[in-house]
Structure 1
Amino acid sequence: MTSQIPSFDIRRFTHPASPGDRQAFVDELGAAYREWGFAGIRNHGIPQAQIDEAYATFKAFFALPEEVKKRYHVAGGGGARGYTPFGVETAKGSKHFDLKEFWHIGREIARDSKYAADMAENQWPAEIPEFKRVGYGLYQSLDALGSQVLSALALHIGLAENYFADKTDSGNSILRPIHYPPITTDDIPNVRAGAHEDINLITLLVGASAEGLEVLSRKGEWVPFTADADTIVVNIGDMLQRLTNHVYPSTTHRVVNPPGEKARQPRYSTPFFLHPNPDFLIDVLPSCITPDNPSRYPEAITAEGYLQERLREIKLK
């Protein structure tokens, strides 16, 4: 692999020029994830106008007065839905909280669903009438794209292409619009988002508005990854790392404060955290156990159990 995180045209998978090209895409994508745990996805089919409208809508919410935003903070909800104010979430093992505020949009499910106890109702800010249409529209688009990426990764490790379909169709996935406010002093010890790994199966990051994302390479070097405007960054989370026995690594990453005047600019970011269904059992796949890579996790755990364990570690619970 090169020292640069690669990007791929997903049309080679969804609309391949030849059967051989589809297989080549699976091979190349899988190799990139084994090396980096990160890749860029181009030609994903989500219109730029949809992304732009979503960012404009999220910025309008974050520009509301603090007392208005805090009406949508769900006390005791662990940040699962609605608004989480500045200075709460802390990267695992970090002394300092992250420099960000954010909102969580979850899956819309019937309230008599068997998952209703694990998946709270969404909050929708009355002050921004288009928020639900725009926010949930982007949620659905990224959910569908994530399913395509998982299909390719399933093939790469010897599973059926549709292996993940019925395991994520009611997933407790989250769309998280984030606002990193401008940094106005030079003595803040925090970074915008401390070094961490994601909890879920995969994360899709659309339209990061500024540089700052860095990925820790296998050599121990921080590699900047500012994707092109038409590229969605997709990375492996801890649940998929555990399921695949570290065949796909959940790579440490962070959002650093840019130098000089760029730090005086706000940063907006919208990751989509794709989760399995709450009762999915994360148990190491037999195809990912070899003499050279024996099972690292003899005990299985449900997706919901794992999520709650991790939320406590990052101070959201």
Structure 2
Amino acid sequence: MTPPPATAASPADHAATALDQALRLTAEARSKQLRRVCLAAVAPVLAGVAEATALGLAATLEDEDRRQSVLADIAVAVAATDLRRAVDSVRDFHEAYRAKALADIVKAEDPRRPGNGTYVLDTYILGAAPPAGWSPQSAAEFASAVAEFAPDRAEEIAAGIDAGYSRTVALAGVARSVAATDPGRALRLLPDRYDPWAAPAVAEAVALVDPDRALSLVASLADRRQRPHALAGVARSVAATDPDRAVRIADGITDRAQRAEALAAAAAAVAVTGPGRALEVISMIGDRDFEEAARADLALVVAAHAPDRAVRLAEGLAVRGGDVLWRVLALAGVASVLLGTGQRRTPAVRLAAGRSR
């Protein structure tokens, strides 16, 4: 008798595989500190399928700040099935965690239920916790997230930010969101004069409309310390339309961390059509830790269209001396993409910069 054909694994199956491995590796982490970092990555994703277990893991974190950060990310996953409870759960959190969670909740809500993001914004968030009462930095991050589905509302929020630096960063976020559909508006949103520390955000937004103008802006910066950061932003923007040029821009950055992040962004841009080319770009980084982190980020990009390949890429990341971080971040990230849990994630290659200092 001929056996029935094997059933192809579903995205949920791949997510379960990735999560199981991430949890096992977290338990095997070589130090208590590493376990805490890994747990913070895994628990919010696990909440998408097993909220009680995720909350139990979060409760084991002794540090109040880290525990609140993880609980805020768990709330984002909970919002998919119980929006009001998710929003209410973060009401009393530290402002930075509350603002990030609320931004992620409304940003994830609109793709799930088109048009509902603005309703959630007005009904559950702005009425009880207006960004005008938040710090400029939190309000700017919130405005940038809202800009992805409601740029007009985001512009209103940005206009109400008092601090010049944060207002410029928020407006740059709005500009990035409208650049493809209304490039003239994107450029008009950006002020002619701004705090020099906001230059990277401005350059990244300008590059979506006019890369040459953005590069001229970077070259004119009086503070050379801002140039690598600004060039990395330009490379990220250019990568979407001209990845080869993005690679050239990134390769010319002198700061090791910013160069690695820019090359990782270029690799992500070519991953869908040329996964081999993406790995070649990552190999240009020339630093083992940064390259492993960039591959962890690449796995998330691949997960959206080839879950099985993404899991294999994550499983192939090195574990040296019990350092499981990059593999755990990749596996948890792949599971998050496949489950649609909606949390924002700090790129692994950026975390690598922190570890290298």
Instruction: Normalising by structure 2, report the TM-score.
Output: 0.26
Instruction: Normalising by structure 1, report the TM-score.
Output: 0.28
More strand per residue: 1 or 2? Answer: 1
More helix per residue: 1 or 2? Answer: 2
